[in-house]
Amino acid sequence: MSITISGLMAFAAAHSLLGYGLALLLAAGEAFPVLGATVPGTAVIIGLGALVPGGALAMWPLVGATAVGAVLGDGLSYLFGRRHKQRAMALWPLRARPGLLASGEAFFVRHGSKAVLISRFLPAVRAVMPLVAGISGMSAARFYTVDLAAGLVFAVSHVLFGMAIGASLTILHAIAARLAVLVVLVAVLAGLAVWLTPRAVRGAVLLVARLRGPVRHWADTGTGWHHRLARSLLDPEQTEAPGLAVLGLALIGGVWLFLGVLQDVIAGDPLVRADRAVLHLLQALRAPVADQLMVAVTELGDASVVIPVTLVVLAWLVWQRAWRAVLYGAVSVAGASGFALLLKLTLRHSRPGALYEGWNAYSFPSGHAAASTALYGFLVVLICREVGARARVAVSLAAVSLVGAIAFSRLYLGAHWLSDVLAGLAFGTAWVALLGIVYLQHTKRGVRAGGLAVGSLVALLAAGGWHIAMAHAADMRRYALRQPVEHMAFTAWSSGGWATLPVQRVDLLGDYEEPFTIQWAGPLAGLETQLLAQGWRLPVPWGLHASFEWLLPNAAPTALPVLPHLDNGRAEALVMIRAGGAVAPDQRLVLRLWPSGVVLSGGAAEQPLWIGTVVIERIEHLKPLATMVDERRGVDTALARLKAALPAARLASRALPAAGQGWNGTVIIGQSPAALPRQDK
């Protein structure tokens, strides 16, 4: 099957128009009764999506062809069932699988018209559900309305997923790939929010129901204030009891997360290193189109939008004479904003870049995240109290999506560290949960939730649209991408400044990895030329064909692409391998270099400085399944072989904080020919 799919991908890459036709036919073929289950449509469509970032296919024509194919295939199957009704069971190929139709009918009875939408994403029932809908007498208008939506969602989701694979295989080298990865990253985060929010709410309610008895018993046996609070929260006479208990869990979780982040920031734990890694990663993903969108999103969290929306909410509550809600709403936003400001002035934690002046130059915690969470969180408390279960999920999801988008925009634009945003979200959640608990316990007055929701949305759109129109150009200049660069004289670097550079690579989670054993001054083309002359080579580039090598149980070391590593969120600038010769047949040397963020001066022009690692990778064949690599820690052996290929470079020694990694502290110090003044031997 993998060979068939690989051939289809190669065919589509060479004939783009036929590739769109292939997507249409396979999407349609998956709906053919019974036989559709054997059509590899999903895998091929995802593979076709992987060709989009490289330019072989275009996204929207591929989405359109896939959606049309899905709707046509489902429609033909539906018409077949509608025309033949129960006689369809006696026709081939259904008579060969009598149980399949029965299971499809049971699925349809259980889910109704939603089954048409759900089945589009379930291979087990996709090949029979349109037929069942026709047999059951579902109206054509109803079927095609649902099926059109299902076909479009199916096409977009599968093509975007394929684009994510294609973009990752090109390792972020072009803007189109960066944009695709960013789109997929945002889509994944949004998908997690959509998937997790209703489940988190339902899970919290179920947990509260499960713990209600034991906790109620504990509360009844004590006289302290915490016992009285627990009895109040779990009072069966209160209709808000489940909501109060969920807010209690949110309060506990928010306080725990905030205090944990605060401790890490003060102590300088790995979260602080992860801050820089996430910052560098997102800055590497930035693209002009995404910048426009993210600046607009972050402007929705500015005071120029938050304050008008808050005033509209308070005005509505005043009109409803909900005075306690007015008080708690004002305290929610003002308290979150005031606490964020107070903590900023206390800790004086600097931002990633010089974007603001005065007290705004401090970043911990994020005021955008804290104030937005407090405002929209309290709206959720007010609205969810008066609406049904489905509306609660929708309102909660809308609030989570908006606040999450604002928080992510702060990270993307380099306005805050990850710890700033997490602390702002955590405190805002805890604060609004505390106020919500007190509010729900002391008031029974409604606020006409429908009107409040509409008024809040109108205020957000109006204030947000006005603010974006007025401030967008200036904010685009404010948040323009700026890569911080440190300047160092070449003589200072050569005579000992090299020892001030990082000792070990830092991964995306802030953990220390393999040591940096080479520093190189000047263009990397000079290093590449020297190593090519000594038997080193560039690795196989990532692509569909190269990716399939990992599925072969006997892949050669030179046939496998090199797995990407990040340093502080930065992608490698140069990767080379050495296999064969003195290297064992099941091993290869892997050299990776990253930008150091330092520029050397002292020659005719400034030159970049690169830092890198060299390791031994052992190829492990998991016959008959696949091939894997084991990155061994024999750093000294790999370094000695690299030095042999660079005779003009010198060796230096440094302290050893990276103990236990098979490294003696030796570092290769080299430079491209004629790039800068020669270093002393």
Which backbone phi and psi does 583 adopt, to 5 degrees? Answer: -85, 135
Residue 113, number of CB atoms within 10 A of its CB: 15
Question: Looking up tokens 């030796």, which residue turns up?
Answer: 666
The C-alpha atoms of residue 555 and residue 373 are separated, in whole angstroms, by 51
Please state the pTM of the whole predicted model.
Answer: 0.53
Per-residue confidence (pLDDT) for residue 562, from 0 to 100: 83
- What is the distance between the alpha carbons of residues 139 and 112, in angstroms, rounded to a whole number? 12
Cα–Cα distance, 352 to 348 (Å, whole number): 13
Interhelix angle 175-220/270-285, nearest 10 degrees: 140
The pLDDT of residue 177? 43
Answer for the pair 663, 636: CB distance below 8 angstroms, yes or no.
yes
How much is the pLDDT for 1?
39
Q: What is the largest CA-CA distance in the chain?
A: 90
Cα–Cα separations (whole angstroms), residue 30 to 124, 129, 155, 395: 11, 11, 13, 36
Please state the separation of Cα 594 from the chain's center in Å: 23
Q: Given this model, what pLDDT does residue 544 score?
A: 64
Residue 286 phi, psi (nearest 5)? -65, 140
Domains present along the chain, CATH in parentheses: 2-169 (no CATH), 239-478 (1.20.144), 487-671 (no CATH)
What distance in Å separates the CA atoms of residue 149 and residue 608, rounded to the nearest whole number? 52
What is the DSSP annotation of 619-681?
EEEETTTEEEEEEE--HHHHHHHHHHT-TTSEEEE---SSTTSS--SEEEEEE-TTTSSPPP-
Q: What's residue 520's pLDDT?
A: 92
* Region label for 333, one of left (φ > 0), alpha (ψ between -120 and 50) or beta (otherwise): alpha
Q: Can you list the residues of the chain whose pLDDT is less than 50?
A: 1-9, 11, 13-14, 92, 96, 169-179, 239-240, 658-660, 681
Query: Quick one: pLDDT at residue 178?
Result: 46
pLDDT at res. 660: 47
Judge whether 135 and 88 are in contact, CB under 8 Å.
Answer: yes
